Amino acid sequence: MITQTNKKKKVFVAMSGGVDSSVVAGMMKDAGHDVVGVTMCFSINHPDSKKPSCCGVDGIQDAQRAAQILDIPHYVLDFAKDIDQHIIEDFTNEYLSGRTPNPCVRCNQHLKFGSLYAKVKSLGAGYLATGHYGRIEYNEATDQFELKKAKDLKKDQSYFLYSMRKEILPSVLFPLGGLTKSEVRELARKYNLNTAEKPESQDICFVPAAGYKKFLEDRVGNRIFQPGDFVTHDGNVVGKHKGIAHYTIGQRDKLGIALGHPVYVYKIDRETNTVHVGPETCLYAQGFYAGQFNPVSMAVPKEKMEVSARIRYNAPETAAHLTYLDEGMVRVEFAAPQKSVTPGQSAVFYKDDVVLAGAIIDVPIPCSEETGVYGN
């Protein structure tokens, strides 16, 4: 069960109120560990939404009930200040800068495996266990722990986990890494859990049903509505946009301009408040520069190396070369041009099933660096 060690230690389980983390608590108890359930409270509630949330009042209540069924202690910890400081503020600033953030990556980095990890360790935890679909395994050849993909690739969440600090890997458990979702639900029924048939939460927990644009408007007011120019790839102004936070790379719909042929957003320039549009070929880039490089399962590379890169959660991996520059910056060059390389999104680098590292995309590299022309 616990690949890091066979010793029985106190295991704190991060319980969101969903079926996955509830089953993890049951598995840890079955394995004979001293189990404590903890749920992060972010003081978030969307009364207008009927969708399940991983951090709302319903989630806390479901986690408490699951802990009662399993007969384990359960505590609610207040991290409202942390989510505002590390997640929501960044989410807002990134959109206002014309970038497309991934708050789930930052939540794992700063909250689950940052603030929460530090808190449970201070309370005597030997391990923090979560319901993520990923694996942490020890590599004897390198004498280090590695983050890996889940066995069930359809549920794999390793893309969102790359930002973990490598030094905490020996103390983190992903018990679901070798299971399928159907097997997890079967275990939930075995444990008679209240969450056995609970649907999954897919949305960003702090964004209401009205969507992220309404969330940003409520948070920053009219700053989200600063109009500017739509400019084509050949330099023509073809209309006015509603504010750069409304757009993302690759967007075609709801642009509000009619040119007689499809156009896509391929670049957003905060300095000039300009949204650049062009034909689909403009979406292709030969690589990108990225920052906040985190080598979770490797040393910082001294030479250019081959990797499989994933530039979005739902994107296929593609062959690439990675070069470490300095101060957490990397340059990535694709073997073949890739579509919709989006600043603010995470790029994760794999070798087979091992998560080598990841970074935040800053600037796409046009297919012609000399002219700055995008396209394939």
CATH code (residue 242): 2.30.30.280
Which of 190, 212, 236 delimits the end of a domain?
190
What pLDDT is attached to residue 51?
46
Closest among 356, 363, 290, 364 to 328, alpha carbons compared: 290
The answer to the question of residue 199 being in a domain is no
Structural domain range at position 324: 282-366
Which of 210, 244, 278 delimits the end of a domain?
278
- Model pLDDT for residues 255-268, shown as the tens digit of each residue: 999 999 999 999 99
- Cβ atoms of 159 and 347 within 8 Å: the answer is no
* Residues 262 and 335 reside in one and the same domain: no
Question: DSSP character for 50?
Answer: -
The catalytic residue among 54, 55, 104, 107 is 107
Residues of the chain with pLDDT under 50: 1-2, 46-47, 49-53, 371
Segment (H or E) for 217: helix 212-220
* Residues 34 and 183 reside in one and the same domain: yes
The answer to the question of residue 91 being in a domain is yes
What pLDDT is attached to residue 52?
45
Cα–Cα separations (whole angstroms), residue 45 to 65, 164, 243, 272: 19, 28, 28, 37
- Cβ atoms of 11 and 125 within 8 Å: the answer is yes
- Model pLDDT for residues 175-233, shown as the tens digit of each residue: 999 999 999 999 999 999 999 999 987 667 888 877 888 899 889 988 888 999 999 99
Phi/psi at 148 (5° precision): -130, 165
What's the total number of domains in the chain?
3
The answer to the question of residue 235 being in a domain is yes
Dihedral of alpha carbons 166, 170, 171, 176, sign? positive
* Residues 142 and 238 reside in one and the same domain: no
End-to-end CA distance of the chain: 48
The CATH number of the domain holding residue 302 is 2.40.30.10
What pLDDT is attached to residue 208?
80
* Residues 31 and 174 reside in one and the same domain: yes
* Residues 261 and 295 reside in one and the same domain: no
The answer to the question of residue 145 being in a domain is yes
* Residues 167 and 288 reside in one and the same domain: no
User: Reduced to 3 states, what is the DSSP secondary structure of residue 324?
Assistant: strand
User: Reduced to 3 states, what is the DSSP secondary structure of residue 310?
Assistant: strand
* Residues 113 and 36 reside in one and the same domain: yes
pTM: 0.92
Is 205 considered catalytic here? Answer: yes
The answer to the question of residue 374 being in a domain is no
Is 41 considered catalytic here? Answer: no
What pLDDT is attached to residue 1?
44
* Residues 104 and 252 reside in one and the same domain: no
**40 alpha-carbon distance from chain centroid:** 18
Residue 209 neighbours by CB under 8 Å, 6+ apart:
46, 48, 49, 51
The answer to the question of residue 89 being in a domain is yes
Residue 315 neighbours by CB under 8 Å, 6+ apart:
none
The catalytic residue among 54, 104, 205, 282 is 205
Cα–Cα separations (whole angstroms), residue 119 to 78, 112, 150, 163, 198: 11, 10, 26, 19, 28
